[in-house]
């Protein structure tokens, strides 16, 4: 506040973790320019992303596999939930993103909780894989949930066949692959999420997964309001658009 006296901090009405930053003149570099970010005191993250981490329902001491971790925004949020007695293992097809992720974990002083794994290590033992209390699949998707911030994606990134056919098929395959890592001993959870607003990638994928996951002992878990899936819509909440569905392994 001494350097930016006009800064206004407001507690979010969307996420219990979020503080909304409002200031007349943003510093060069945005919120990342604040020295407290470099010291690991806060993360810059969309409020909807925080709701996905919260939906995982993990607690102190739990183990989590972040199956499509990217650069680790949700991984760090999950690490704050499981604490020093827990662990968050991260995997992504893009190894450069994982390097960035570990840089973020070091800055946040969470490198003793967060780790990365390679595809070879993760799938080395297909008969008896390491299992986790929760597996998060933040699946690759059309990204229609971020159009409010990147409207040009509507023209240069969206392909009808990809959105309706290719991505939903890939999303189902990833979820079924990830499901094998969910533990059976303590009602392990599988959380499927996208930053898409398209039903083809969301409810239709989740509904299709119900039957195949049931064979593996999974049951769809309702959200606190009784709905079987959760849509975060930009025009109702001040966030990007997201979708979530979750299953518990009985």
Q: Which residues are catalytic?
A: 195
C-alpha to C-alpha distance for 82 and 63, rounded to whole angstroms = 7
- Tokens matching residue 203: 């409810």
Euclidean distance between the first and the last CA atom of the chain, given in angstroms as a whole number: 50
> Which helix H or strand E contains 136, and what residues bound it?
strand 134-138
> What count of residues does the chain have?
250
Buried b or exposed e, range 61-74, using 16+ CB within 10 angstroms: ebbbbbbbbbbbbb
SS3 assignment, position 179: helix
| Inter-residue contact 246 to 192 (CB < 8 Å) | yes
Q: Nearest 5°: phi and psi at 244?
A: -140, 145
> What is the spatial distance between Cα 4 and Cα 40, in angstroms, rounded to a whole number?
19
Task: Identify the burial level of 195 via C-beta atoms within 10 angstroms of its C-beta, where 0-12 means exposed, 13-18 middle and 19 or more buried.
Answer: buried
Residue 65 tokens read as 């596999």
CA 105 distance to own-chain centroid: 15
């Amino acid at each position: 506040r001494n350097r930016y006296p006009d800064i206004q901090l407001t507690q979010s009405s969307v996420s219990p973790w979020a503080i909304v930053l409002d200031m007349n003149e943003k510093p060069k570099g945005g919120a990342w320019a604040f020295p407290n970010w470099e010291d690991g005191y806060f993360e810059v993250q969309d409020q909807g992303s925080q709701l996905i981490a919260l939906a995982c329902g993990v607690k102190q001491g739990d183990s989590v596999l972040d199956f499509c971790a990217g650069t680790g925004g949700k991984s760090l949020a999950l690490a704050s939930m499981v604490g020093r007695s827990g662990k968050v293992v991260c995997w992504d097809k893009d190894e450069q993103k994982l390097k960035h992720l570990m840089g973020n974990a070091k800055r946040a002083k969470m490198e003793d909780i967060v780790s990365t794994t390679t595809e070879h290590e993760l799938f080395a033992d297909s008969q008896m894989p390491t299992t986790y209390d929760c597996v998060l699949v933040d699946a690759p998707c059309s990204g229609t949930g971020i159009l409010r911030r990147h409207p040009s994606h509507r023209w240069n990134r969206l392909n009808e066949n990809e959105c309706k056919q290719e991505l939903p098929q890939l999303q189902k395959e990833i979820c079924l692959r990830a499901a094998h890592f969910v533990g059976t001993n303590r009602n392990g959870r599988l959380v499927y999420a996208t930053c898409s607003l398209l039903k083809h990638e969301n409810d239709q994928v989740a509904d299709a997964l119900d039957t195949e996951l049931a064979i593996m002992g999974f049951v769809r878990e309702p959200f606190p309001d009784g709905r079987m899936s959760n849509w975060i819509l930009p025009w109702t909440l001040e966030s990007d658009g997201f979708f979530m569905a979750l299953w518990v392994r009985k």
